[in-house]
Structure 1
Amino acid sequence: MRSVITRSLLVAAGLVTVVFLATAGFLVFSRAAAEAAAADQRDAAVVAAVLAVSADADAVRGTIARTVAGAEGRLSVVLADGTRLGAGGGSAVASVGGAVVSVVPAAVPFPFGAVATVLGVALVALTVAVWLGHRPFTPVLVALRVLASSAGRRVRLTGPRELEALAASINSASERTSQLVAKEREMIADVSHRLRTPLAALRLDADALGSGPVADRIRSAVIALGHDVDRIIQSLQPVEIAGPSTCDVASVVEARMKFWSAHADDQGRMCEIDLGEPAWVPLSPDALAAVVDALLENVFRHTPAAAPVGVSVVRHAGWVTLVVEDGGTGVADPSSALHRGSSGGGSTGLGLDIARAAAEATGGTIHLERGRLGGARVRLRFGEANSHHEPASPRAWRLWRGHP
């Protein structure tokens, strides 16, 4: 902000200085020209006075030589008989007894010395003007520094009324945001607690189904849902951060695909899995599992039962890529699909946003493309754990509508 004020003051004071210099130069030059013209008039008057007394050529010639204009060869006299005395052929200045006195105007040099003096004075004035111009802005700069250093806490400042009003607005917005966040947490906690009752009933019903692959999958899904509800409730409580978590993407995907591949078998859906070598990323296993479940749930919900699905993990050059693709009809509007809360299939629209947030938390990106199976392909790039590389640029997702 201080540099902006300095530039503004320099521009304003500089314009005033230029106008001042131009005006001073014009006045000094005009004064010099007027003085030179007055001197020529005096020389012409001296010669005219001699002509009024005598028309003797030698006397007139001697008078011309004694004048400044005559000595410079700029003054001449044409006598009544046509005789020219002196050099030059300028404009007529005086006429006496038929004789005409003429003077060639002198060349007026530009007053560089005077202009240099004025320029020095102007530069000193410019420096003083910029220094004094900063003083009224000091309270504004102090108030802005207080605003900049008050992130996350209540703003208290004294300064211009406008900035005090801005601080009050910021405080009001912060309080309102805190209230909204608190209400949202209360609502989520209330809903999560209410879910425990039907979950308990589902767990009892699942236990009553006996044994078998279908019953096992139902019990597994109920247990996983119960864990998710518990994690939601726990996340609403303030916890101590013990340090960054890491997990092996291949292991987490393998564990979750045991459930989803069984689900694919029930639907007669071909499921391709390619996990590759272990690949560690700075995410907790639960967070990565939530990403895998969100992507696979989208596939199973929004594609025909016979559409194939493929999941692969690739580690390369400090990045870990998780690819989930399907053989469905693709995504009609990728831009909307990648915005939180937007969905074209009747869902909440949070699945891809969960995946995007997890990828960007590691410095990576999300890409929505047309896959080799014919449908949509979601490609997540995670920054590898303990790998020193610059975040992907741009961090915002990129979109492709056509085939790769």
Structure 2
Amino acid sequence: MTSSLRGRLFVGLTAVILLAGCISGAFSYLWAFDEAIEMQDSVLIQVGSLLQSGSVKSDQTLRGVDADAEVDVVELGTAPRGRTEEGQLWSLQDGLHVASFTDRSMRVLLRTRLDGSRFAVLQPTDVRDDIAGNMALRTLLPITALIPCLLLVTALVIARSLRPMVRLAGDLDSRRVDDMTPLPLAATPSELQPFIASINGLLQRMKLLMDQQRRFVADAAHELRTPITALGLQAENLDSVDLPESARERVAALKEGMARTKHLLEQLLALARHEAAPSGDAVVVPLDRIVKDVVADVLPETARKGIDLGFELIEPIATAGEPVMIATMVRNLIDNAVRFTPPGGRVDIGVLREGSEAVLQIEDTGPGVAPDDIDRIFEPFFRGSRPTEDGTGLGLSIVKRIVDRLGGSVVLENISGPALTGLRAIVRLPAANSCSASIRTHATG
């Protein structure tokens, strides 16, 4: 049996409609058949009455009677005719009978005139049954035509009745993972309201749990940042101390670990901050200027790694949001591209308008992302199946949350071609104004 509620309802109602149609059709057929037989008996009685009253002679054509009905009149005379078929009919009393005549089963009406003569009005029973059957079948045509209409109406009613459930499922599917807004109870069927209330209760409990986790992460990261910073400063102070080469290698490894830990704490704080409710009002932010500032900050690092970082296309364009959030989003995307681009590679940036959207595109010449990891690349702490650089796995997760909060979209796709690999990140945000000027620059690291 199908597991679909809609399928079960349709199958069940279809079975009921077909069963009711068959039963009503059978009763209608039998009723119509009996009525047609009685109507033909009435015809025989009317013919007999006319003959008995003398209004019609037996040798006259029976007008008003369908020739296909094969109604016939047999004069029996005033006395029985021995063992003939007419004699057998004479032996019957006046009225309707079923008898054999000319080797056929006949419906016979016997009548006696005032002068004592008798006559019989006959009609073959097989002809009567054919006429009655045809008339009865005609009564089934409306029922036969009604059943498909009822099935169509049933399907439409079921689809309309289950539409609130479909809308509810679509609402839940289209939500962000961190959207715990209660589902609306207004304009929903009463049967669904207990189910929706249970979902809202679950969403509320999940929201409380997520808030507790965010506070814990933020508090822990904040408490750890101060001692990590102090340890980092102490490690920096060791640079002025005369240490053996082996000790300096250990100090360098310690400083590198401190830097990674500090970066992780900063990303955790950023994640907790951007998962919480926005703290500031949205303003018009020049996206091109923010990208330029971030590129200027990253240029020294790309110069050390020998990476060519620059703009392929940059247009003056703005979007609505918080400057800090947008700068964090841009910085994480560029940091991710630079981190996975090998020395001598390229990172190309484009800022442009497409219709009503502000588009930020970043391409690198790194190894790209494994196809199996594309769908999970925005999950927190997910670093992929082939990480080649140290990272926290939070940068792209923060990017996704910021873009969602700004009402945009972000897509990562691998670049493939002859002797060419890399990753392309495309961010689309609602544009805040129209800019027609186009500036093309290129900053080399």
TM-score interval, normalised by the smaller of the two chains: 0.5 to 0.7
User: How far did 1:229 drift?
Assistant: 7.1
Unaligned 5+ runs, structure 2: 1-6, 87-100, 111-118, 155-160, 173-179, 241-255, 435-445
Contact kept, 8 Å, 2:313 with 2:352, in 1: the verdict is yes
- Paired AA for residue 415 in structure 2: R
Which of 208, 232, 248 is matched with 1:202 structurally? 232
- Paired AA for residue 368 in structure 1: E
Q: TM-score, normalised by structure 2?
A: 0.54
Contact kept, 8 Å, 1:64 with 1:75, in 2: the verdict is no
Which of 374, 396, 408 is matched with 1:363 structurally? 408
Contact kept, 8 Å, 1:253 with 1:292, in 2: the verdict is yes
Partner secondary structure for residue 367 of structure 2: coil
- Paired AA for residue 424 in structure 2: V
Which of 353, 356, 361 is matched with 1:323 structurally? 361
Change over 3 Å in CA distance of 1:176–1:362 after alignment to 2: closer
Distance 2:370 2:280 in 1: 43
Which of 422, 425, 432 is matched with 1:386 structurally? 432
Change over 3 Å in CA distance of 1:202–1:27 after alignment to 2: same
Change over 3 Å in CA distance of 1:340–1:263 after alignment to 2: same
Aligned twin of 1:184:
213
Distance 2:274 2:280 in 1: 14
- Paired AA for residue 187 in structure 1: F
- Paired AA for residue 198 in structure 1: I
Distance 1:328 1:15 in 2: 65
Distance 2:280 2:205 in 1: 30
Contact kept, 8 Å, 1:269 with 1:309, in 2: the verdict is yes
The more displaced of 361-370 and 258-267 is: 361-370
Change over 3 Å in CA distance of 1:340–1:63 after alignment to 2: same
Alignment of 1:344 onto 2:385: yes
Partner secondary structure for residue 328 of structure 1: coil
Change over 3 Å in CA distance of 1:64–1:25 after alignment to 2: farther
Aligned twin of 2:326:
288
Distance 1:289 1:209 in 2: 33
Deviations 1:290-330 (A, max 9, x none): 22222233233333233222222223322222222222233
Aligned twin of 1:374:
420
- Choose between structure 1 and 2 for higher RCO, CA contacts under 8 A separated by at least 6 residues: 2
Contact kept, 8 Å, 1:339 with 1:353, in 2: the verdict is yes
Aligned twin of 2:176:
none
User: How far did 1:27 drift?
Assistant: 3.3
Alignment of 1:267 onto 2:305: yes
Distance 1:222 1:247 in 2: 31
Partner secondary structure for residue 281 of structure 1: strand
Q: TM-score, normalised by structure 1?
A: 0.58
- Paired AA for residue 211 in structure 2: A
Which of 222, 239, 248 is matched with 2:286 structurally? 248
Unaligned 5+ runs, structure 1: 51-58, 131-136, 211-217, 389-404
Contact kept, 8 Å, 1:202 with 1:222, in 2: the verdict is no
The more displaced of 168-177 and 99-108 is: 99-108
- Paired AA for residue 35 in structure 1: E
Aligned twin of 1:103:
123
Instruction: Count residues in correspondence.
Output: 332
Contact kept, 8 Å, 2:351 with 2:358, in 1: the verdict is yes
Alignment of 1:28 onto 2:24: no
Distance 1:378 1:71 in 2: 88
Contact kept, 8 Å, 1:302 with 1:345, in 2: the verdict is no
User: How far did 1:265 drift?
Assistant: 0.9
Identity within the alignment, % = 16
Aligned twin of 2:71:
74
Deviations 1:81-118 (A, max 9, x none): 99x9xxx989453799xx997524454584899999x9
- Paired AA for residue 335 in structure 1: I
Partner secondary structure for residue 264 of structure 1: helix
Distance 2:402 2:227 in 1: 30
- Paired AA for residue 77 in structure 1: V
- Paired AA for residue 423 in structure 2: R
